[in-house]
Structure 1
């Protein structure tokens, strides 16, 4: 993502949070950024397209921070605590924007947005699953769907406090507190209630790979519903065909990925493809 796009996203999110989405004009955004309207439209097709990009930008930052935890040379419990702290920090940072979105119900409700939400949910589940297994061992694997639901409910309650009450909580202490509560939940597990196919966005693949070919195929299919550019559709179809083969040809996928870079709104998909490519090494 270019520096100009990041500037527009950051300034626009502040204006939307302060004045509301409808009350903020493209002129307001360009004035705040010190750019022309022409420069704005070179980066974003419309204000609605910008709104989606803000969601995408925030989601990518959260995913990157969560993924980075796996590379830290720290204890497993500390890593698990940071997993929760990071989420609360990012939510707090953009709480005014989130509040605006909830108040005005401004959400680009299309297949592309649904794909973004599904991606964030999947990636969060995958990191959380890995951390749970690191801390509590492989014996909890059969309980994973229930654990993810229980922890999601627990986290949601604190997120609501952060957004609606504007309370400045100590996120480090809160992360440690949630891990302690997780200890109690794990200690009281008996028989699993949920099956993996009952949990939205969760798949058991038995590997350490963060992104699978099946996930990418479904994401690409969702993304195609909102794509009109013929060249982009052709590139997506070539990638789909390659991912459907047993032996993926890395150079072919990378060649088509270079075509995707020329189109707006492909950053999230490119990020997932890059992770998949790295797993092939």
Structure 2
């Protein structure tokens, strides 16, 4: 386990147990067996660490959910397994989530909005694949509505997991929800929402702006983990362009060419080029 991951995991345990405000950096470094200097070389502040914890947990959730597509199971089982994983991960980190609810830690900054936007879009993509597999391509026009409806259905059960000591059978619950989703799909008529609606109402931005926010979030993660100066410089130039109202496409395309040798940037480069072609 690298130092950054160790700090994230130890700090999340301390925050869940003691609370964010009452946990000191000294307590975190003591738990990790490192110096304060080493901590501040990794994170600028306790607040930036808290954001990194959210980023780390959401990444783990998405990675685990993605494994459902590698299993040789039918569409009903795959959709149910997706829900089971979601509930299990929330149960695993419920104490940390409760701490956030209790202390109402302020993370309403631009970086957090980008993370939430990216997570929301990834959740939509995963559900899209699951719903199309189960209900066929005819469901495509209804995906934005189904996304909102299903998230609304699961929200109440998630609140029970977080806020109460009630022990739910997640497999039984997930199978039950799949039956309810089947009933919803059977009753669908004319679509109400489109993708602009679901990606715009939470962040207050258009679909294009949400995509830019997603790209900026990916860029931030690459820049954070980069140990190559040339790669970092290219990412910084792209970042500056993304912040402008009028993006200079040739500049970004040139920087993307610089990033081609770096395998870890391949997904970002592909997404960036798709955005430029719009």
Equivalent pair of 1:118/1:201 in contact (CA under 8 Å): no
Equivalent pair of 2:98/2:163 in contact (CA under 8 Å): yes
SS at match of 1:99: helix
Counterpart of 2:259 in structure 1 is: 253
Equivalent pair of 2:218/2:268 in contact (CA under 8 Å): no
The change in CA–CA distance for 1:47 and 1:117 in structure 2 (over 3 A counts) is same
The answer as to 2:2 corresponding to 1:3 is yes
Counterpart of 1:193 in structure 2 is: 192
| Counterpart Cα distance in 1 of 2:267 and 2:177 | 29
More off after superposition, 92-101 vs 34-43:
34-43
Specify every segment of 5 or more residues in structure 2 that has no aligned partner in the other structure, as ranges: 202-207, 224-231
Shift of 1:90: 0.8
Matches for 1:52-91 after TM superposition, within 5 Å: 52-91=51-90
Equivalent pair of 1:69/1:79 in contact (CA under 8 Å): yes
Equivalent pair of 1:216/1:272 in contact (CA under 8 Å): no
Equivalent pair of 2:216/2:242 in contact (CA under 8 Å): no
| Counterpart Cα distance in 1 of 2:39 and 2:259 | 31
Counterpart of 2:164 in structure 1 is: 165
How many equivalent residue pairs?
253
The answer as to 2:225 corresponding to 1:219 is no
* Bigger RCO of structures 1 and 2 (CA < 8 A, at least 6 apart): 1
Equivalent pair of 1:56/1:116 in contact (CA under 8 Å): yes
The change in CA–CA distance for 1:218 and 1:11 in structure 2 (over 3 A counts) is closer
Q: TM-score, normalised by structure 1?
A: 0.78
More off after superposition, 64-73 vs 148-157:
64-73
Q: CA RMSD in A?
A: 3.5
Equivalent pair of 1:111/1:222 in contact (CA under 8 Å): no
The change in CA–CA distance for 1:253 and 1:27 in structure 2 (over 3 A counts) is same
Q: TM-score, normalised by structure 2?
A: 0.79
Matches for 1:14-163 after TM superposition, within 5 Å: 14-163=13-162
| Counterpart Cα distance in 2 of 1:21 and 1:8 | 14
| Counterpart Cα distance in 1 of 2:45 and 2:13 | 17
